[in-house]
Structure 1
């Protein structure tokens, strides 16, 4: 599978004064509400069913993990109280913390963990599937203890704490026993917030309320680790796909936080005394071929596109000013040592249309339809799709630009049916 990856900076905008601390000893107070504009619509609430970040972000609201990564990328315990490994690192035993409860009031049990890991393992190909292959047993010893026995060495803690989506969020056993490829329809976790299903309006709004039964760890919060102490009664995700409308809502005080501030609005937001613009780690953009079916099941077709793809064309359309983005010939983030791998010149070297057309001829391309998914409600992804559409057409390929909202795109990405079926 050939992949291209581009990194771009992103910014979040916050209305100053939106997050208000409550004085100690205050008895009566108004409900604290954060109104948040997410980067995409939440269409899938099964945390294992998609790699979409919007589902992962929802997951961190509703669910909890056994381990998590700190700011040094080291796994630290979350739901786990203590653990031990045998000297040969092939047998691992874990004990859960006291006081863990599901949102329906039932206690969290080791059997829930085992069922969750087995279901997650099927859907996560970076850590989950290798863990299942390396393990001879994943089983509960009692209600608080579970064990993982390995046939070969494996980075167990890194797997249990991975931030990679789908993330290993824990589910109740009755939900985790659902077939991994059948989406669950309930949002029952043990995390710091509860999803209010009655107020979920796909394409518009998701509502979360504080989980009064949540017991945070005693350690201070550090990235994805430590105590998650909830200081809000209610969080409202208000999906606003149009950047102008989102900016007007933020500037007018109708919302408090815009997660993915469009680049065109950064200067305006930066000069507004009531708005704080914060930079984050940024995003990595990825385009993926459907290599299950023609024409991109043929490696020469994938190589043909790679021969002419210029990351700079995409980044200029997606993020504008070059100060907002960087390129590197890698599937890894640009700051990593692995961001300049052997063979990277295939993506960073001179673009060669003659080579591309020769490869297409050698592949025997017969005009098969190519469905290019376009998430038109996310400006950066829409721009990416338009550039890709132009590129493929210049190669003489039969491209059908399929425009839809992000939620629909996510569902279609998970569909392995042939393109001619939709």
Structure 2
């Protein structure tokens, strides 16, 4: 029988595991030890403002810091900011940075660094774009304070600056932040709890971070992406192991300490191993994203035909296979969350191949191959694209399945050339549920064309609805607008929802402690006996 377990908000936003968090002031110095983990995928893109890839976001949290963060209960908390005020009319926000903030090169963090970082981030992030569009001015007040002046009161300031995932507004030196938003930064200098060991970076093999000895953590206990980022190990190594069995063997044999994502086929065995802790920490959603710029998915009827060809139950059973870890869900927002809606124009959990073929005929589809990207090394995704290809074929499509590693998918999906010139038509991806809670933050709902997320959907009505959501002041208004946004997103075929899952992580009992489990992977507070 299909499980009805809801993705509880506490699971969505993360929770600290059994190890008690101790305030930063009570921690002992880090031992000279190395913490080894297997990331969800290979790190290829090092610029966290350039891509929404989870592994790049996690890299960002290692070396950069943020003005605000989101705690384990979903509340926005100050991080680099010491204090802030708002004017009586709600239009002016003034922020003061906390003392002792410094980049890895020894230079102090200034308001100019912050403003440059945010300006670059806002060119790529949907929430940043919307916030800056509502802003009259962003300016420095002093070397360690700055302010935003809005044309009208804007209610999503903290929600934007403290967002935990997707394109996180990480702060970097101005010289780096001045890099055009469509180019990647060439340096990797932050002010966060770890430093990046560039000379030991081996793409496809390992990434190395060292403790930032000069980092001054906050005094609060760690929670989510906030609180005291206390580093208790001298070195962290991300070890790339692309084969699922090799990953599990490395964990069981003590060669690595943690797997960010348990291969689903090994879930039951690891769960039964009394030397391993399996934590069902992260909730999220699968989706099939279309390239709206190039044929054939530049026609809404073709996108709708692909959506009608999907079969969530079959896809989830194939990829996840463990009923306790997945469920079908047609909402663009996590089922069970405040904005979840069952208003889906024409969509159902079962495929509608005849209707899909009718739409393709009406669109004049001539059988041109659809290039579908297939990440073979990402155990949380690898089984989905072949079945998606099969379902598309049943719906009347010709499909060219291109197999590659996830890092190559991340690089290729940024290309806007036609599919037969090195571009793409569709790819399968995963989004953490914390991203999908709000239509302002959920990049697949952006519809501002080439300034938006990969796939570059363009729809003025959808953008108007999202703008209204940003100005809404009541839960009832947001609920109604959230439903309208979902309905419109499905009308234009923004993407096809493929269902929900939980992504368990695993680590060796007694080998490490202090793991902060949640949908955002952070590695401060971890210690080794």
TM-score (normalizing by structure 2): 0.73
Following the alignment from structure 2 to structure 1, what is the Cα–Cα distance between the partners of residues 284 and 202? 27
C-alpha deviation, 1:369, in angstroms: 2.5
Could you say which residue in structure 2 is the equivalent of 1:378? 378
Could you say which residue in structure 2 is the equivalent of 1:159? 160
Could you say which residue in structure 2 is the equivalent of 1:252? 253
Kindly report which structure 2 residues correspond to 1:173-212, keeping only aligned pairs within 5 A, or say none. Answer: 173-212=174-213
**Is 1:46–2:47 an aligned residue pair?**
yes
- Say if 1:418 and 1:317 are closer, same or farther in 2 by CA, change over 3 A: same
Could you say which residue in structure 1 is the equivalent of 2:214? 213
Following the alignment from structure 1 to structure 2, what is the Cα–Cα distance between the partners of residues 153 and 30? 48
Could you say which residue in structure 1 is the equivalent of 2:59? 58
Kindly report which structure 2 residues correspond to 1:223-242, keeping only aligned pairs within 5 A, or say none. Answer: 223-242=224-243
> Residue deviations 1:186-236, cap 9 Å, x none?
211100001100010011100000001111111111211111111111100
Could you say which residue in structure 1 is the equivalent of 2:497? none
C-alpha deviation, 1:399, in angstroms: 1.2
Kindly report which structure 2 residues correspond to 1:341-356, keeping only aligned pairs within 5 A, or say none. Answer: 341-343=342-344, 346-348=347-349, 350-356=350-356
Could you say which residue in structure 2 is the equivalent of 1:21? none
Could you say which residue in structure 2 is the equivalent of 1:322? 323
TM-score (normalizing by structure 1): 0.91
C-alpha deviation, 1:293, in angstroms: 0.9
- Say if 1:319 and 1:51 are closer, same or farther in 2 by CA, change over 3 A: same
Following the alignment from structure 1 to structure 2, what is the Cα–Cα distance between the partners of residues 324 and 279? 8
Whether the aligned pair in 1 keeps the contact of 2:71 and 2:225 (CA below 8 Å) is yes
Could you say which residue in structure 1 is the equivalent of 2:114? 113
Following the alignment from structure 1 to structure 2, what is the Cα–Cα distance between the partners of residues 185 and 200? 14
Could you say which residue in structure 2 is the equivalent of 1:282? 283
C-alpha deviation, 1:31, in angstroms: 1.6
Kindly report which structure 2 residues correspond to 1:49-128, keeping only aligned pairs within 5 A, or say none. Answer: 49-125=50-126, 127-128=127-128
Whether the aligned pair in 2 keeps the contact of 1:42 and 1:203 (CA below 8 Å) is yes
C-alpha deviation, 1:396, in angstroms: 2.8
- Greater CA drift, 109-118 or 147-156: 147-156
Equivalent residues, number:
402
C-alpha deviation, 1:417, in angstroms: 1.8
Could you say which residue in structure 1 is the equivalent of 2:473? none
Whether the aligned pair in 2 keeps the contact of 1:306 and 1:347 (CA below 8 Å) is no
Could you say which residue in structure 2 is the equivalent of 1:365? 365
Following the alignment from structure 1 to structure 2, what is the Cα–Cα distance between the partners of residues 359 and 128? 36
Whether the aligned pair in 1 keeps the contact of 2:356 and 2:396 (CA below 8 Å) is no
Whether the aligned pair in 2 keeps the contact of 1:83 and 1:94 (CA below 8 Å) is yes
Could you say which residue in structure 1 is the equivalent of 2:457? none
> Residue deviations 1:162-208, cap 9 Å, x none?
12311000010000000000001221110000110001001110000
Whether the aligned pair in 2 keeps the contact of 1:240 and 1:246 (CA below 8 Å) is yes
Whether the aligned pair in 1 keeps the contact of 2:392 and 2:399 (CA below 8 Å) is yes
Gaps of 5+ in 2: 1-6, 13-17, 20-25, 423-529
- Say if 1:389 and 1:225 are closer, same or farther in 2 by CA, change over 3 A: same
C-alpha deviation, 1:308, in angstroms: 2.5
* SS at structure 2 position matched to 1:403: strand
Following the alignment from structure 1 to structure 2, what is the Cα–Cα distance between the partners of residues 53 and 335? 23
Could you say which residue in structure 1 is the equivalent of 2:412? 412
Runs of 4+ in structure 1 deviating by more than 3 angstroms, as ranges, are 24-27
Q: CA RMSD in A?
A: 2.2
* SS at structure 2 position matched to 1:141: strand
- Greater CA drift, 301-310 or 236-245: 301-310
C-alpha deviation, 1:252, in angstroms: 0.9
C-alpha deviation, 1:344, in angstroms: 6.0
Whether the aligned pair in 1 keeps the contact of 2:42 and 2:406 (CA below 8 Å) is yes
Whether the aligned pair in 1 keeps the contact of 2:354 and 2:395 (CA below 8 Å) is no
Could you say which residue in structure 2 is the equivalent of 1:134? 134
- Say if 1:396 and 1:355 are closer, same or farther in 2 by CA, change over 3 A: closer
Gaps of 5+ in 1: 1-6, 11-15, 18-23
